[in-house]
Amino acid sequence: MEWYIIKVAFNREDSIREALLKRIKLSGLEDYFEEILVPTEDVVEFTRDGKRRVVKRKLYPGYVMARMVLNDDTWFLVRETPGVGDFTGSGGKPMPIDASEVAKFLPKEEEEDEESEPALKTSIPFKVGDRVRVKEGNFQNLEGEVEKVDEANGRVTVIISIFGRSTPVELDHWQIEEI
């Protein structure tokens, strides 16, 4: 069995995965499919009232990965599933991807201590060049431009004009809002 990437309808990855699993079971081809997954990662988001929550974010929207044996029956079953575009590959021929590449997206085995929590990225709704206003803190109501976004720490560097000079200020992402 090898891993293949399947192009699917954008924002319908989970429902198409379920449809594929159902069709595989109905057709009796379970022996040819091992796993179908939608690559995701956990990210921290903050609600408007500042509450922290962990959500799953799709790494590759519009794509699903399948570990399967590719033959005429399995190819037809996947291609004829509603919402599925095609396999990725060249010249109309599906190309398998290396298992080591897929291992990056598979859920990690719980080998670590329960105390050690994996570092989660923070989902920051700003990008470099955005105009923002500081809504909390020492620089409240000042406006500036985003210079750098640090998702690992949830911080944003904003260039603010203080006394006529451009000054970089590092703020938590929840302290600013888009203009």
pLDDT in tens, 106-147: 665 444 444 445 566 767 788 899 999 998 888 889 999 999
Side-chain-facing half-sphere of 38: CA atoms under 13 Å: 19
Amino acid at 18: E
Name the residue among 116, 113, 110, 176 with its Cα closest to residue 149. Answer: 176
If one compares 49 and 88, the residue with the highest pLDDT of the two is 88
Span(s) in the chain for CATH 2.30.30.30: 124-178
User: Which CATH number describes the domain made up of 124-178?
Assistant: 2.30.30.30
With cut-offs at 50, 70 and 90, classify the pLDDT of residue 7. Answer: very high
CATH 3.30.70.940 domain range(s) in the chain: 2-103
Please give the DSSP secondary-structure letter assigned to residue 138. T
Whether the predicted pLDDT of 39 surpasses 60: yes
Query: Would the pTM of this model clear 0.85, i.e. be above it?
Result: no
Q: Which fold has domain 2-103?
A: Alpha-Beta Plaits (3.30.70)
Query: pLDDT value at position 29?
Result: 92
Average pLDDT of the chain, as a whole number: 84
Tell me the per-residue pLDDT of 159-177, one tens digit each, with 9 for 90 and over.
Answer: 998 888 899 999 888 888 8
pLDDT at 92 over 60: yes
Q: Per-residue pLDDT tens for 61-73?
A: 899 999 999 999 9
Q: What is the pLDDT of residue 98?
A: 86
pLDDT at 91: 73
Burial class (CB in 10 A: 0-12, 13-18, 19+), 48: exposed
Instruction: Grade residue 50 by pLDDT with cuts at 50, 70 and 90.
Output: low
pLDDT, average across residues 18-31 = 94
Higher pLDDT, 108 or 152: 152
